[in-house]
Structures are given as structure tokens and as C-alpha cells.
Amino acid sequence: YSKLDLKGAPKWVKNQSDLEDTKHLSAVGSAKILNGNLNFARNEASTEARAELARQLQTKTSAAISNSASKVSGEKGLEVQSNSGQVAQVFAQQVISGSRIADTFVSEANNYWVLVKIDSQSLVKSLAAEIAKTPLSKELAKEPHTIANEIIQEVQSNWQK
């Protein structure tokens, strides 16, 4: 992006990997403002940010579930691991609807920037509901909420890396 795009920009635009917030997961999107249409640019930027949020959630959640499933031996472990991608995909799609626009910025270069966040506790609830549908909870002898909380903590520690 040009210097005009970053002039006066908030920290979350300039350094998107530095979005430390222990209560939320965040993503940034941007779109060019065409013909002065701010609503269109806002929608495009928020769609981009939500897609990035979903992509990261799905990838990192799938890895974290697989990591938990690796503690389960034998056939059950393989079953849980094979379901991890699907659980993560469904979970990521569900939570996107729970995300919100936390901040916006319009640059001098006519780009609309959006910061989208989602609450970590709502992620734990959604993921626990998905985990409850798998044998992971039973095999690890833990409640779905406990597993989900551990997974979301792992996802948060690896967020934006």
C-alpha cells in the first residue's frame, strides 16, 4: 500500500500481525472506494476480513483438534482426526455470523479498511457444540467445553502467525 494509504492509519491497519487482544480474534480487510460508494467498499472490506477470519479459524482449529485427537489411540483416534477438518469447517462458517466490525478507517488513497472481531467465549461455545457431536470428548474423558477452551487458547496463541 502507498504512503497515502497508511497516512494517519490506526495501528491495526499498519501492522495487522500485531492485533493482540486476549478476548477476541481479529482480521483486517480493505477495499477500494469506487465512485464514492462507501457502503459497497465497507461490504467488500468486511467480507474480505470475515473470509480471512474464517480461513485462519478453520486452519488453526483443524490443526488444534488433530493435535488433541493424536492423544487418542487406535481406531477412535483416526476417526476423530478424520472428522477434525469437517468440524473446523462447520465451526468457522458458524462463527463468521458472530463476528462484528470493530473499527473502520478510510485512507487518503481512497481505500476503506475494516477491523472485524469475534469474541473468544462465543467461539468456545460454538466449538464445544461441534465437539459434542464427535467422539473426541468421550475419548479424552473431558467435557466438550473444556476441550473447546483448550483449543481456542491454542488458536489464540498461534493467531496471525
DSSP string, 121-149: HHHHHHHHHHHTTSSHHHHHTS-HHHHHH
| Better pLDDT: 130 or 4 | 130
Q: Check whether 18 has a pLDDT greater than 80.
A: no
pLDDT tens column, 41-63: 999 999 999 998 888 888 888 88
- Give dist(CA 142, CA 146) in Å, integer: 6
Closest C-alpha among 43, 42, 54 to residue 105 = 42
| Better pLDDT: 129 or 73 | 129
Identify the pLDDT of residue 19: 63
pLDDT tens column, 76-130: 777 777 777 778 777 777 777 788 999 999 999 999 999 999 888 888 888 888 8
Is the whole-model pTM more than 0.85? no
Identify the pLDDT of residue 16: 65
For the chain, the average pLDDT equals 83
DSSP string, 26-58: EEEEEEE--TT-HHHHHHHHHHHHHHHHHHHHH
Beta bridge pairs of residue 104? 114
Phi, psi for residue 70 in degrees, rounded to 5 = -65, -15
What is the tally of helices (H) and strands (E) in the chain?
7, 3
